[in-house]
Structure 1
Amino acid sequence: MSSNFLVRKVAVLGAGVMGAQIAAHCANAEVSVLLFDLTAKEGDPNGIARKAIDGLKKIEPSPLATQDRVQYIEAANYDQHIARLAECDLIIEAIAEKMEWKLDLYAKVAPHIRPDAIFATNTSGLSINKLAEGCPAGLRPRFCGVHFFNPPRYMSLVELIPCHGTEPALLDDLETFLTTTLGKSVVRALDTPNFVANRVGVFSILAVMHHTQRFGLGFDEVDALTGPLIGRPKSATYRTADVVGLDTLAHVVKTMTDNLPDDPWAQYYATPDWLAALIAKGALGQKTRAGIFRKDGKQIKVIDLKLQDYRDSAGVVADEVAAILKNRNPAERFAQLRASAHPQAQFLWSIFRDVFHYVAVHLAHIAHNARDVDFAMRWGFGWSQGPFETWQAAGWKTIAEAVRDDIHAGKSMSDAPLPAWVFNVDGVHGPQGSYDAVNGALRGRSTLPVYERQLFPERVFGEMGSELDASGEAGRTLWENDEVRMWTLYDDDGKHVPILSFKSKMCAVGPVVLDGIIEAVGRAEKEYAGLVIWQPTAPFSVGANLKQIKPVLEAGDFVALEGIVAKFQQMSQTIKYSQVPVIAAVQGMALGGGCEIVMHSTRAVCALESYIGLVEVGVGLIPAGGGCKEFAIRTAEMAARTATNDPMIWLQNIWQSVAMGNVSKSARNAKEMGLLRDSDIVIQNAHELLHVARKTALGIAEAGYRPRLPPAGVPVTGRAGIATLEMMLVNMREGGMISAHDYKVSKAVATAMCGGDVEAGTLVSEKWLLDIERSLFVDLLRTEETKARLIHMLETGKALRN
């Protein structure tokens, strides 16, 4: 029987940008951390590490799921605390990318690492085998590379790289820890320069730079072409370089320069003169506030090589090229790009062609299979499709022939021939796996038990998952209407716990969804042990479907509008008092009515990156699907456990959060805000959400679940509570911070949460609280200001302050 690999404490060696943020993400996952750095020359010996920990609070987007996570990161220095490495189950070295520095550190720390601990280096491209040589022979079986991408909290990819002597079981243990505990997507890489993602990604950037110059395009023009229009992040190419740091990019390029002298593309592994000049001037990108781009006030400027100066950034895509990119047929799109004489079209064909060429030639040397290359680019560089699946989607043989013809015509960046295997296959991804160029066969996915938790793993184009039927639909439909589907999987858990998913755009909640939820809960009560509300793709729900409300509002049919709100309240109460557990499985946004579904569920299971909030005030309304009512009840229950019995201790902060329309910055932050309960579950890996939610439903059902009985009477703060909260509003209005209508809306929130115009301590029913919030909601709908806010949000997607 194998023993569990338990990580109680992690040591991170090096408190630089990556080391500190890796430490932060371990703390996000409830793993305590020792963060080491050199001893400070004066003052606090831990000053360097402590400064890095304090700096974590200032970074945006925050590496910390909640600000209190820093208390789980302990500052340390090598001189005083090196023996404490023996406390740690996993040691991650994350110092600067200098081989001699790393080897010197290994000699120092090796005697203090426990024989059962894992020692890993976070390097973006140095040889793991050369680094392993710096470890004592007894430590090498426990040594490997673990390459996090920046920023570690948000970037999914971690590359796991063994040395020649790494124990296979160690890699399995570490991959399991990275996947479930830290929520990462792991690609096992070969020990080649820059591994998989940076090898392909940096070549792609170098190809873009080469063809930018070749076709005489501006940097802003290229970024307009190489962003979302081709399935890449908004930061595109040159903006991404600025964010990463031009010096960091140059360093990664140098790794290729130094280690790949015989590569067919070696002549391009060099920092362009213009880039070297920017670095020499200290214009390193975002961290120095100037690089390829620079912000002057509100105006974005871009470097213009002809002018040798910055100019206003424009970045216009030609109409004919934009029209080609709108073609949904990838085969036609690539054919049109290749045939077009427009420089922008030729540029796009060229950058795709050269990356296709590059990955085909190098597949056998850099990755175990084509799937690993594609996932590395998705997870590490944010591409919507990796290069191999893009090629396959566009017609494998047609693209292969086009690339071959361009090589023969001298148009490609290298004259290396395409490998013979390219012409012997019809694609690299299929139902049986993805192409392994070394063995000339399809390689299936990992069989590690941790992946059994991912019921719907991410798939590459051309791969069919066992969770889909022949038509490509997931599971078996039990019941559906136009906007919801109640369905189940074919496994044993699926016999007991069905799933409810919304089909509406952005999973918005309108009358049809409300009816669907009520119906699904009723069916679950009759036939199943529980129900999970889960969306196959984020968001969980953006809240009420305003488009469906607009015509009723414009017609002035307030009776119908009150009926919709009443139905919303009926839905949330149906969830709350369901006779079987209803689990909300959340990733991404759960806003407004979506948040109220979560609040009324028996239990919420949320991925860490869940952004939850009651945001109705943004359109001049208040939460009226039971949100205000729930806070009145929860704060009364919390107050009953204290000596003072004062709900205002909690209610004031909750009211302020709702009145400001605040959204949590993580699921853990949602707990701090009171939107999630202590009993709600936060997990790191969103791909494990459905598995955990179904098991949670089954566990609660097995414990003999009964819903809590409605409260006999809820003591509310009434007029006194409203007056206390209104004092804050008066100061904000007098200070010009809020408008008169903001005042009206926020006071309505206070009135609903405080139980209305009654004496403090009055016992009211749940129905009373629902009636108040519904009445206030409809009253606000009657105002011209709220109507204007709703229409403005629908037309522009932005909030109106009036």
Structure 2
Amino acid sequence: MSNFIVKKVAVLGAGVMGAQIAAHCVNAKVPVVLFDLPAKEGPKNGIVLRAIENLKKLSPAPLGNKDDAALIQVANYEDNLDILKGCDLIIEAIAERMDWKHDLYKKVASHIAPNAIFASNTSGLSITALSEGFDAELKERFCGVHFFNPPRYMHLVELIPTVSTRPEILDQLEGFLTTTLGKGVVRAKDTPNFIANRVGIFSMMATMYEAQKFGLPVDVVDDLTGTKLGRAKSATFRTADVVGLDTMGHVMKTMQDNLQSDPFYPVYKTPELLAKLIAAGALGQKTGGGFFKKVGKDILRFDGEKGDYVPSTGKADDIVVRILKEKDPAKKMKTLRESTNPQAQFLWAIFRDTFHYIAVHLESIADCARDIDFALRWGFGQKNGPFEGWQAAGWQQVASWVKEDIDAGKALCDAPLPQWVFDGRDGVHTAEGSWSPAKNAYVPRSDLPVYQRQSFRATVLGENAPDGTKAGTTVFEDDSVRIWHQNDDVLILSLKTKMHVIGQGVINGLAKAIDEAEKNYKGLVIWSADAADGGAFSAGADLQSMLPVFMSGGIKAIEPEVAKLQQAHQALKYANVPVVAAVAGLALGGGCELMMHAAKRVVSIESYIGLVEVGVGLVPAGGGLKEAAVRAAADAKGTDILQFLKNYFTNAATANVSKSALEAQKMGYLAQNDVIVFNPYELLHVAKVEARAMFDAGYRPQLQKLVPVAGRTGIATIMAQLVNMRDGGFISAHDYKLGAMIAEIVCGGDIESGSLVSEQWLLDLERKAFMELLNNPKTQERIMGMMQTGKPVRN
């Protein structure tokens, strides 16, 4: 075994992408130095310092913890090139100008360490052309590494070799990108705009072309081509605004300049509406307006005919919405094609155009069809890739329809579909692998060691790979939970409820899982199969399931249910084998409390954690406030508890939710020794490794002990702050009441400061406050508002 450890990264260029790549390295605890030109005025590193300062203001936040901005080392090309000698990976991320990049390379080449990897974050320039002028040895260590914007959140990184790049360089870099930075790596060929931008931007251009042809305004197009198609909410024109219309124009120009022999070349012409906006300086979100513009609370759209912004009110026709709700992809595609509705015809046309394009270009731009599907899913936020969509809708039938349109002159060009499309196949993805025209074979998945850390890899339709809902051996399963294992020594509990909310079924499942784990396994991991696909760890208690209890027995009937939840969490905390919570996505309210009671937490960086009960007019009652008191006492180590308690109190009283796992650690919801994982596909593997290691180290649950509390002195101090907030109009009277109740619980009640209480004492305080609030009309308003609208009511 040989380790490839990146001890330090250098990023050349402190623009939007360079600064955010540096920020994500810091998120992952990778030391990084950010370079740019020396400033003409002020501090020499002023350009970099301003870029770092800007990182703290960007939304979505590039940094998991804003304080970590200070960890980015600053440098300039005049004084600090010697720092490059200590860097294992150097990523160039300056503007997309071949001549500028070559000038920079001449400046830095002699300072690059003999074993360092040198990579360009170009979005479409030729990697081979960029490497011209390097000596043979550096050429072997040079490649393209194309991050998507914003780098923290977009899963895709394209890895592009030249003919000279050593294969082991790519393997090492893929391992680092996958595990350390948490990315989905797709290897692309060195063709203009690589895979995702080549297909994705073509698809957007075809959409714009067909929209003009069918006379559809931009707001209607976005309503049709967003979530209704399983694509990103920003759809087409809004995505262009977010990316930047000048950036879109640049990518299109790359295609115009380098793809003259492409049969689709006429489509690469910059759309008239886009050109008009760029000329006017309306470049999208960064200039305050592009295809769309926000004025006050109103969203306006640009009207090409009027040359001005008008109210955005266009929506998909009801009949088309009904067609798109059809669950059978084959029926849906057939209905769209045969419909006389212009919107339906438009949708068929953009599907046809993309299918036509990817079939013609697959051999030249990608190793196999899987790479195109992953690139579009991970780089453009699509639920399914284009080849998956074609295969699901019936490969041969769709192929014949596309051919008919080509022959009838309805397609964007007359290039025929390749012969392999019609060889009797059912699609391009099989259990054997994904189709590669160049190899005339199905290509299996990469077997690099890094992928052994992914218990369930991202799959493509037709691959028929096992997934976390059915794999392994089931010990117990009902509508709420599945208890299972992968034929090894760690038990897994997966929640099956919607958003993994916690009701009686989950509470029962927890008890069964703990009992089974204590008898037969080294540990228990709480993990759900959609953890890597944006699912929630748990959105909290199941309010809906409480309704029948309330209807049959009134509010008093709720109290035993709350007690059951508290005791289930206590059983989790004091289980005789380690319980590890594998957290990704939302962990709110009861979900946060469930996680807090585990022996350890393994958490995806993209986890959003908090006690949010005040939003429905309640206080946490599943042990979350009890844990706050316990943790504050432990942190205080005999000193003033209140100083350590304030953070926990404020977060619960304001329903503050972390914007990352790193922030959740700062807030106290995660312990310092909890593990933060950057690739959600590795979550289960790491959680099982932790559980097994704890057991093998002789794990015993902590002994229950009495907790010192802040008492009435602490309550009085917090209440003084609450009075100021209420009287200043910052919180409502009901928020004040909720804050007072939370203060009483976390401080241990009306007792002397420093008094010792049991965990049960604190749980009883939680439950008492919870029951009192259930009787409160203001709380009832909040609960009903949340159940009816899904949004918190402030009263």
Fold conserved between structures, TM > 0.5: yes
2: CA distance, partners of 1:428 / 1:630: 52
Shift of 1:519: 1.7
Q: Which residue of 2 aligns with 1:687?
A: 681
* AA matched with 2:449: P
1: CA distance, partners of 2:98 / 2:553: 72
Shift of 1:278: 1.1
Verify the 8 A CA contact 2:55 2:61 in the aligned structure 1.
Answer: yes
Structure-to-structure mapping, 1:631-780, within 5 angstroms: 631-640=628-637, 645-711=639-705, 713-780=706-773
| Equivalent of residue 579 in structure 2, options 578, 582, 590 | 582
Verify the 8 A CA contact 1:467 1:475 in the aligned structure 2.
Answer: no
Task: Please give the secondary structure, in 1, of the residue aligned with 2:146.
Answer: strand
Structure-to-structure mapping, 1:233-272, within 5 angstroms: 233-272=232-271
Q: Which residue of 1 aligns with 2:277?
A: 278
2: CA distance, partners of 1:639 / 1:623: 23
2: CA distance, partners of 1:244 / 1:666: 23
Question: Which string of whole-angstrom CA distances, capped at 9 and with x for unpartnered residues, describes residues 381-427 of structure 1?
Answer: 00111110000000000000000000000000010000000001221
Question: Which string of whole-angstrom CA distances, capped at 9 and with x for unpartnered residues, describes residues 321-341 of structure 1?
Answer: 111111111101111111011
* AA matched with 2:564: K
Shift of 1:455: 0.6
1:436 equivalent to 2:436? Answer: yes
Verify the 8 A CA contact 2:196 2:372 in the aligned structure 1.
Answer: yes
Structure-to-structure mapping, 1:21-420, within 5 angstroms: 21-420=20-419
Percent identity over paired residues? 58
Q: Which residue of 2 aligns with 1:457?
A: 457
Verify the 8 A CA contact 1:132 1:140 in the aligned structure 2.
Answer: yes
Shift of 1:782: 1.1
1:486 equivalent to 2:483? Answer: yes
* AA matched with 2:576: Q
1: CA distance, partners of 2:287 / 2:548: 50
Task: Please give the secondary structure, in 1, of the residue aligned with 2:479.
Answer: coil
2: CA distance, partners of 1:730 / 1:499: 47
Aligned residues: 790
Question: Which string of whole-angstrom CA distances, capped at 9 and with x for unpartnered residues, describes residues 336-368 of structure 1?
Answer: 111011110110000000100000000000000
* AA matched with 2:489: H
Task: Please give the secondary structure, in 1, of the residue aligned with 2:772.
Answer: helix
**For structure 1, which segment, 566-575 or 459-468, has the greater mean C-alpha deviation from structure 2 after superposition?**
459-468
Verify the 8 A CA contact 1:629 1:753 in the aligned structure 2.
Answer: yes
Shift of 1:511: 1.3
Task: Please give the secondary structure, in 1, of the residue aligned with 2:136.
Answer: coil
Question: Which string of whole-angstrom CA distances, capped at 9 and with x for unpartnered residues, describes residues 541-590 of structure 1?
Answer: 00000101134335562332110110011111001000000000000000
Task: Please give the secondary structure, in 2, of the residue aligned with 1:746.
Answer: helix
Question: Which string of whole-angstrom CA distances, capped at 9 and with x for unpartnered residues, describes residues 629-661 of structure 1?
Answer: 1111111111125xxx10111111210111000
Shift of 1:479: 1.2
1:624 equivalent to 2:618? Answer: no
2: CA distance, partners of 1:73 / 1:374: 35
Verify the 8 A CA contact 1:31 1:72 in the aligned structure 2.
Answer: no
Structure-to-structure mapping, 1:468-487, within 5 angstroms: 473-487=470-484
Q: Which residue of 1 aligns with 2:781?
A: 788
1: CA distance, partners of 2:263 / 2:269: 14
Shift of 1:137: 2.1
Q: Which residue of 2 aligns with 1:508?
A: 501
Shift of 1:464: 1.3
Q: Which residue of 2 aligns with 1:5?
A: 4
Task: Please give the secondary structure, in 2, of the residue aligned with 1:664.
Answer: coil
Shift of 1:309: 1.3
Q: Which residue of 1 aligns with 2:588?
A: 591
Shift of 1:738: 1.3
Task: Please give the secondary structure, in 1, of the residue aligned with 2:602.
Answer: strand
* AA matched with 1:767: Q
2: CA distance, partners of 1:322 / 1:412: 24
Task: Please give the secondary structure, in 1, of the residue aligned with 2:134.
Answer: coil
**For structure 1, which segment, 594-603 or 313-322, has the greater mean C-alpha deviation from structure 2 after superposition?**
313-322
Stretches of structure 2 that go unaligned for 5 or more consecutive residues are: none
Q: Which residue of 2 aligns with 1:601?
A: 598
* AA matched with 1:427: G
Task: Please give the secondary structure, in 1, of the residue aligned with 2:683.
Answer: helix
* AA matched with 1:617: V
Task: Please give the secondary structure, in 2, of the residue aligned with 1:590.
Answer: strand
Task: Please give the secondary structure, in 2, of the residue aligned with 1:691.
Answer: helix
Shift of 1:467: 5.5
Question: Which string of whole-angstrom CA distances, capped at 9 and with x for unpartnered residues, describes residues 241-263 of structure 1?
Answer: 00100000000000000000000
Verify the 8 A CA contact 2:188 2:194 in the aligned structure 1.
Answer: yes
2: CA distance, partners of 1:719 / 1:405: 80
1: CA distance, partners of 2:8 / 2:647: 34
Verify the 8 A CA contact 1:714 1:764 in the aligned structure 2.
Answer: yes
* AA matched with 2:661: A
Q: TM-score scaled to structure 1, two decimals?
A: 0.98
1: CA distance, partners of 2:133 / 2:662: 40
1: CA distance, partners of 2:114 / 2:782: 63
Verify the 8 A CA contact 1:223 1:315 in the aligned structure 2.
Answer: no
1:16 equivalent to 2:15? Answer: yes
Runs of 4+ residues over 4 Å off in structure 1: none
1: CA distance, partners of 2:466 / 2:303: 52
Verify the 8 A CA contact 1:369 1:443 in the aligned structure 2.
Answer: yes
Verify the 8 A CA contact 1:508 1:544 in the aligned structure 2.
Answer: yes
Aligned residues: CA RMSD? 1.0
Verify the 8 A CA contact 2:302 2:308 in the aligned structure 1.
Answer: yes
2: CA distance, partners of 1:654 / 1:767: 19
Shift of 1:279: 0.8
Question: Which string of whole-angstrom CA distances, capped at 9 and with x for unpartnered residues, describes residues 446-496 of structure 1?
Answer: 01010011111111111111557xxx8222110123311101113xxxx21
* AA matched with 2:785: H
Q: TM-score scaled to structure 2, two decimals?
A: 0.98
Shift of 1:739: 1.3
* AA matched with 1:441: A
2: CA distance, partners of 1:754 / 1:466: 49
2: CA distance, partners of 1:675 / 1:99: 47
2: CA distance, partners of 1:208 / 1:649: 57
1: CA distance, partners of 2:478 / 2:398: 42
1: CA distance, partners of 2:288 / 2:551: 48
1: CA distance, partners of 2:512 / 2:155: 37
* AA matched with 1:236: A
* AA matched with 1:544: A
Verify the 8 A CA contact 2:745 2:762 in the aligned structure 1.
Answer: yes
**For structure 1, which segment, 357-366 or 519-528, has the greater mean C-alpha deviation from structure 2 after superposition?**
519-528
Stretches of structure 1 that go unaligned for 5 or more consecutive residues are: none
Verify the 8 A CA contact 2:329 2:393 in the aligned structure 1.
Answer: yes
**For structure 1, which segment, 115-124 or 318-327, has the greater mean C-alpha deviation from structure 2 after superposition?**
318-327
Task: Please give the secondary structure, in 2, of the residue aligned with 1:119.
Answer: strand
Shift of 1:3: 2.8
Task: Please give the secondary structure, in 2, of the residue aligned with 1:79.
Answer: coil
